[in-house]
Every structure is written in structure tokens, then in C-alpha cells.
Amino acid sequence: MVEFKVVIADPKTGKCYGKAVSGHHANSLVGKRIGDSIDGIFVGMPGFKLMITGGSDAQGISMRQDLPGMRRKRILVSKSTGFRPKHPGVRKRRMLRGNTVGPDISQINLRVVKHGSKPIEEALSEKEA
């Protein structure tokens, strides 16, 4: 069984909320890509629309939007996702993960695109209670 830690960012308030997703809801997230919109029902928030903005695997390797597939790859990067140089113009070969959610991803970052009828706090607390 696949299990993900989901971090949901609310741009309206600037807060982030964490939740664990497992079972058939987690299996439905496998194969989605960065930038895809998903229904909030997959994370226990009916009525919400969420967009995948990134994630990382168990070793902390972050996902990158322009790297296709689920694989890990060493690519040469300048200042961007996965590398922040101390001096301008520095490039480095870094291990990064592709833009598709796979079973080896441990954390998925989501952003609220469309709010539901209830506030996020209520939608998340009902499922856990």
C-alpha cells in the first residue's frame, strides 16, 4: 500500500496543513504530475480543488517540474529548484526526481485552487475526529 504525507498550502491565509493519505485515495494520486489539478476528496476535503506543486521522496530528493517521469536523475542546475548557489553563475550536478508522483514519493505538496463551502480547518478536523 502507498502512503503519502500531504502538505496543503492555502494562499488565501498563508497557512499550511499536513495530513497523511493512504489506501485507495493514495493509489489514485500515483501517476499525477506537477501542475495537475485534483479533487479534494482524495485528501479528505470534499468541495476543494487542489493543484500539485511538488514533493520529495524518502531520501529528501525533491521533484522537478521539467524532468519527465518518476525516475531520479543527476542533472546540471544553476539557481532553481533543488539548488541555491552562494555565488552567481555557479552550476552544480544535483540528484533530482521527475515530475510524476510514484509509489516511492513520501511527501506531496498541494495548493488550494478552489475553496469549498467549509473552511479548511473544519474539513480536515472532521476526517480525523
Residue among 33, 64, 25 at smallest CA distance from 51: 33
Query: Contact 75/99 with Cβ under 8 angstroms?
Result: no
Instruction: Tell me if 80 is assigned to some domain.
Output: no
- Whether 44 is in a domain gets the answer yes
Checking 24-28 for CB contacts under 8 A at 24+ apart, the result is 26/1, 26/2, 27/1, 27/2
Residue 110, in any domain of the structure: yes
pTM confidence score: 0.90
In a domain, 77, yes or no: no
pLDDT, one tens digit per residue, over 55-76 is: 999 999 999 999 999 999 999 9
Q: Is residue 84 part of a domain?
A: no
pLDDT digits (tens, 9 = 90+) for 18-54: 999 999 999 999 999 999 999 999 988 999 999 999 9
Q: Look at residue 124 in the predicted model and tell me its pLDDT.
A: 83
Q: How would residue 128 be classed by pLDDT, with cut points 50, 70 and 90? A: low
- Dihedral sign, Cα of residue 71, residue 74, residue 76, residue 80: positive
Residue 12 lies in a domain: yes
Provide the domain count of the chain.
1
In a domain, 91, yes or no: no
Q: Which residue range(s) make up the domain with 109?
A: 3-62+100-128
Give the mean pLDDT of 6-16: 95
